Structure 1
Amino acid sequence: MRKRAEKFAPLLKPARYKVFYGGRGGAKSWIIARVLIRLAAQNKLRILCARQFQTSIADSVHRLLCDQIEAMGLSNQFDITDKSIVSLTGSEFLFKGLEKSIREIKSTEGIDICWVEEAQAVTKDNWEILIPTIRKEGSEIWVSFNPDEEDASTYQRFVVHPPPDAFVVKVGWEDNPWFPSTLEKERQHMLAVDPEAYEHVWGGSPRKISEAIIFNKRVTFETFETPEGVRFHYGADWGFAADPTALVRSFIQDECLFIDQEAFGYGVEIDETPALFRSVPNCELWPIKADGARPETISYMRRHGFNISAAEKWPGSVEDGVAHLKGFKRIVVHERCKHIAQEFRLYSYKVDKQSGDILPIIVDKHNHGIDALRYSLDGYIQRRGAMGVWAKLAG
């Protein structure tokens, strides 16, 4: 319940835009509906519930609101008809489809809150008409959606380039305290059989060109037992600003790389780093290879009992490291390592937006755990230099 309150707390704070996006099972619509009902029962509000496509009231959130009113025990405070919902305070819910009613919406006055549900389908033109239409002083625009394409107008407008005075929150199944066991079985199945689709459907990430994913179909995600007597590899990447500090543990067996432990922390101060690292078993007993860009942090960690040193870097070391990782028969990520698992599903080559061509350029995103993994294999990764690296990476 605490997670839910934290993620959806912005709904009760003043802001022009309140944006909630993510994958399946996050209860976004359910919770937004409940908050709107509670507000409508307490104050006189005019609430526009919009979506891109609505040919009839059955296509709207009307049924969702009615169900939640009943579930909350507030039926005696609302007058509900087949097409309208009005509260005893005088609050009114309106239901419109942007595709066919955008001009009609343009003339609608006095909207306090506009909730755009399934907003991934809203076009650039419709946003440019809708937003200035919601012009009452103090009015708010609430947006909920599951991302589709990365270049889609809604994703670019609110996630990639969020406007001023906006709360933008990613919500997932893990934030839903009422997540049902039926959906949990579906989630686990998709994770096992189609991890790329999983990252879109359940992880809430936009679709990507599958061929651009660097480790596409080379990584599996499963539960396994760590055998006794293996040689562990520990690697660390240091966080900065919004980037996490990461420690990753792996071992090699039967020409496969197994990742069985991770620690990720955001906004970790230097004096908090030892405790973060110690959440990974036996990290003080084994050598740790780390990003050499922060020698002062490495020195600090050595003073606190860690056998840690900088991994070697050279021009092309990232590409050489990726090529080495792709040389394993399989990379197996334990299900408890959720952060690096997500990185493997997103780590990609750059794609030319005009031609769709996949370029020999690794995008510097979704790579903190993967960088730590590369550092951990310092001494194993061979220098190949720039020549021939692309052929190896594409193989």
Structure 2
Amino acid sequence: MTIDSNTIFPTMFNNDFRDIVNHKFTEYCEKGGRGSCKSSFLSIAIIWLMVNNPDFNALVLRKVADTLSDSVYEQLLWAIDVLGLTDRFKATKSPLRIIYTKTGQRIIFRGADEPKKIKSIKLKRGYFAITWFEELTEFSAEDVETIKLSTMRGGDKFWIFYSFNPPSSARNWCNKEFKSSRKNTLIHRTDYRGVPQEWLGQAFFEEALSLKERNERAYRNIFLGEPTGTGRNVFENVTLREITQKEIDSFDYCFYGIDWGYYPDPFAYVQMAYNPAKKTLYIFDELELLKHGNEQASNALEEHLLNWYGTDVNGHCKVNYKNDRIVVDSAEDKSIGDFILYGWNIKAAIKGPHSREPGYKWLQSLNEIVIDPARAPHSADEFSLYEYEIDRKSGEILSGYPEGQADHCMSAVRYAMESVWRRRGG
């Protein structure tokens, strides 16, 4: 079966469809704003996969079963109709399912109210090659893993589809989990601007532009699918982008920090540079380790920096990185002593009551904190997700920097930059 993709889904999905057909990835996340046609695209892809693979069945899920018939069920019937295959499928509402009559393949619909029960579904032919989690934000991460363990068996090829409108809070698990593409997972964000206007209607575009004029933050979240934040972000000056090697090579001086940890708190090493004229901090290298003793952490850091700087023709590191001063958490005398013994140039940070506040205030005062999310993903997450807390009774934002949120890389940054922000009076 072949289709003319340019007439049934927006061209912005062409590469995704090609990857799905060629099974380039196992997991595909289509996230985006209202009117982005992501669910329409996935419903077409599911029907195409089934028609072209006689052993493939599909499991389509919403968190609550009562929402299935008016959403994904109708969406898949639409896809069947658009593909001109209505006479080849039989659809029933009790039970809720769609059958490809030529082979008996099935599209089964289930709510994830009790995800463990899904493993009891029996098929007459083939296996569940396709699983679609629609409105992923309704599920918990645990729901998803439980269901995948139940369905990913009986075959050698699987397609897991996720679709959702990103919540405004960057701390939401979907936003954190599906931030950028990774091995075996394609993540694609789309919005209505890539959809032909006649498909959505003039009124839709007018509504979007009206909201943009009234509330741009809400517009960016609802229509562009951006996790714009809750308005409680501590660091509003963070920019996530690639920091090129050319930029890194141009820095005159770099700063290094370590926050000690073992488990559940990690050992965190971060490298950065600062441009005082632009009041801009650049974070472009890190190493996080769990369950590493001091000697193991030292060895891992040496290996990391050897890879970072590269070696000469004799196999020696091009840079004597142990000459670089690393400012570390002063609370662990043993760790400091061990690392000095291992040959590192260690300086203990100046700490005391309320020592975080001046460092964080200085970071907030910068024009920009640029973080490369590929080179320093944990730093990117921590700075992006760090939010002021809310009083549960009044709903008001609480003052002060919250405890309990991940801040290990942020602490390493604060230690590393101590000589700068203390010289400027915090």
Q: TM-score, normalization: structure 1?
A: 0.57
In the alignment, the residues of structure 1 paired with residue 133 and residue 357 of structure 2 have an alpha-carbon distance, to the nearest angstrom, of 43
Whether the aligned pair in 2 keeps the contact of 1:278 and 1:284 (CA below 8 Å) is: no
Out of 172, 175, 179, which is 2:182 matched to? 175
Out of 355, 371, 374, which is 1:317 matched to? 355
The offset of 1:357, in angstroms, is 1.4
Give the counterpart letter for 1:290 in structure 2: V
In the alignment, the residues of structure 1 paired with residue 187 and residue 161 of structure 2 have an alpha-carbon distance, to the nearest angstrom, of 24
For 1:250, the equivalent position in structure 2 comes to 273
After TM superposition, the structure 1 = structure 2 runs for residues 228-307 of structure 1, keeping only pairs within 5 Å, are: 228=250, 230-241=252-263, 243-244=265-266, 245-254=268-277, 256-267=279-290, 269=292, 270=296, 271-281=299-309, 283-307=321-345
In the alignment, the residues of structure 1 paired with residue 104 and residue 282 of structure 2 have an alpha-carbon distance, to the nearest angstrom, of 58
Whether the aligned pair in 2 keeps the contact of 1:119 and 1:143 (CA below 8 Å) is: no
Give the counterpart letter for 1:298 in structure 2: I
Whether the aligned pair in 1 keeps the contact of 2:243 and 2:284 (CA below 8 Å) is: no
Q: Which one is further off, 259-268 or 46-55? A: 46-55
For 2:9, the equivalent position in structure 1 comes to none
Identity %: 20
Q: Which one is further off, 375-384 or 56-65? A: 56-65
Out of 81, 86, 96, which is 2:89 matched to? 81
The offset of 1:294, in angstroms, is 4.0
In the alignment, the residues of structure 2 paired with residue 149 and residue 228 of structure 1 have an alpha-carbon distance, to the nearest angstrom, of 36
After TM superposition, the structure 1 = structure 2 runs for residues 43-54 of structure 1, keeping only pairs within 5 Å, are: 47=59, 49-50=61-62, 52=67
Q: Which runs of 5+ in 1 are unaligned?
A: 10-19, 70-74, 103-107, 124-133, 161-168, 187-195, 386-391
For 1:373, the equivalent position in structure 2 comes to 413
Whether the aligned pair in 2 keeps the contact of 1:111 and 1:139 (CA below 8 Å) is: no
For 1:166, the equivalent position in structure 2 comes to none
Q: Which runs of 5+ in 2 are unaligned?
A: 1-18, 92-97, 123-127, 141-146, 153-159, 194-216, 310-318
1:345 is paired with a residue whose SS is helix
After TM superposition, the structure 1 = structure 2 runs for residues 208-219 of structure 1, keeping only pairs within 5 Å, are: 208-210=229-231, 212-217=232-237, 219=239
In the alignment, the residues of structure 1 paired with residue 383 and residue 329 of structure 2 have an alpha-carbon distance, to the nearest angstrom, of 19
State which structure, 1 or 2, has the greater radius of gyration over its C-alpha atoms: 2
In the alignment, the residues of structure 2 paired with residue 307 and residue 220 of structure 1 have an alpha-carbon distance, to the nearest angstrom, of 30
In the alignment, the residues of structure 2 paired with residue 280 and residue 90 of structure 1 have an alpha-carbon distance, to the nearest angstrom, of 55
In the alignment, the residues of structure 2 paired with residue 257 and residue 300 of structure 1 have an alpha-carbon distance, to the nearest angstrom, of 33
Whether the aligned pair in 1 keeps the contact of 2:29 and 2:188 (CA below 8 Å) is: no
Change beyond 3 A, Cα 1:309–1:22 = farther
After TM superposition, the structure 1 = structure 2 runs for residues 1-395 of structure 1, keeping only pairs within 5 Å, are: 42=55, 47=59, 49-50=61-62, 52=67, 55=70, 59-61=74-76, 80-81=88-89, 83=91, 84-86=98-100, 90-95=104-109, 111=121, 116-121=133-138, 144-146=162-164, 147-148=166-167, 170-175=177-182, 208-210=229-231, 212-217=232-237, 219=239, 221=241, 223=243, 225-226=247-248, 228=250, 230-241=252-263, 243-244=265-266, 245-254=268-277, 256-267=279-290, 269=292, 270=296, 271-281=299-309, 283-334=321-372, 336-339=374-377, 340-363=379-402, 364-382=404-422
For 1:12, the equivalent position in structure 2 comes to none
Q: Deviations over 1:86-117 (max 9, x none)?
A: 3777442145799xxx9xxxxx9x74588541
Q: Deviations over 1:12-51 (max 9, x none)?
A: xxxxxxxx989569x99969959x969x9559x7945447
Give the counterpart letter for 2:281 in structure 1: F
Q: Deviations over 1:129-158 (max 9, x none)?
A: xxxxx9xxx789x99454526699xx7xxx
For 2:201, the equivalent position in structure 1 comes to none
Q: Deviations over 1:64-85 (max 9, x none)?
A: 7999x9xxxxx9xxx9427423
Whether the aligned pair in 2 keeps the contact of 1:235 and 1:372 (CA below 8 Å) is: yes
Give the counterpart letter for 1:55 in structure 2: D
Change beyond 3 A, Cα 1:180–1:8 = closer
In the alignment, the residues of structure 2 paired with residue 143 and residue 248 of structure 1 have an alpha-carbon distance, to the nearest angstrom, of 37
Give the counterpart letter for 1:251 in structure 2: Y
Whether the aligned pair in 1 keeps the contact of 2:254 and 2:271 (CA below 8 Å) is: no
In the alignment, the residues of structure 2 paired with residue 343 and residue 251 of structure 1 have an alpha-carbon distance, to the nearest angstrom, of 19
The offset of 1:321, in angstroms, is 1.0
In the alignment, the residues of structure 1 paired with residue 415 and residue 121 of structure 2 have an alpha-carbon distance, to the nearest angstrom, of 54
Whether the aligned pair in 2 keeps the contact of 1:220 and 1:330 (CA below 8 Å) is: no
Whether the aligned pair in 2 keeps the contact of 1:221 and 1:341 (CA below 8 Å) is: no
Q: Which one is further off, 341-350 or 169-178? A: 169-178
Q: Deviations over 1:251-301 (max 9, x none)?
A: 233151331421233436324232234455554332101123444443343
Change beyond 3 A, Cα 1:353–1:64 = farther
Q: TM-score, normalization: structure 2?
A: 0.53
In the alignment, the residues of structure 2 paired with residue 317 and residue 121 of structure 1 have an alpha-carbon distance, to the nearest angstrom, of 40
Change beyond 3 A, Cα 1:286–1:257 = farther
The offset of 1:347, in angstroms, is 1.5
Whether the aligned pair in 1 keeps the contact of 2:26 and 2:185 (CA below 8 Å) is: no
Give the counterpart letter for 1:350 in structure 2: E
1:365 is paired with a residue whose SS is coil
2:399 is paired with a residue whose SS is strand
